[in-house]
Structure 1
């Protein structure tokens, strides 16, 4: 089976050849860097880390 060729869906410009799993993952993100960034923050554990705003009072990220 040939490797998938990743491309920019807006311009059609080829970016690289990827493994099928990586190509499918990027396709699900619809080329949206903001969504990929939120997914990366989630995997890194940054999404649910509270910020201490005062003794005993924490704020969760929105």
Structure 2
């Protein structure tokens, strides 16, 4: 099965060929850069960066 060809649903322009999982992810974000940017900011934020307060003890950001 050939890899899916990514395309802009508004213009039909083909920017490239993606892996199926990447194509599905873009589809779930509706090809909206602002939504993908917020998702990236969430992943890069403090939610995923606990603070080590003692050996084996971490505190999550409040």
TM-score by length of 1: 0.70
Partner of 1:56: none
Higher strand share: 1
Q: CA deviation at 1:45?
A: 1.4
Task: Report how many aligned residue pairs link the two structures.
Answer: 49
Large movers: runs of 4+ above 6 Å: none
Is residue 6 from structure 1 mapped to residue 6 from structure 2 by the alignment?
Answer: yes
**What are the Cα deviations for residues 9-40 of structure 1, in whole angstroms up to 9, with x where unaligned?**
10001010000000000000001111000000
Partner of 2:16: 16
The gaps in structure 2 that reach 5 residues or longer are 48-62
Q: Secondary structure at the match of 1:41?
A: helix
Partner of 2:44: 44
CA distance 1:10–1:46, shift in 2 (3 Å)? farther
The gaps in structure 1 that reach 5 residues or longer are 48-62
Give the CA RMSD over aligned residues. Answer: 2.0
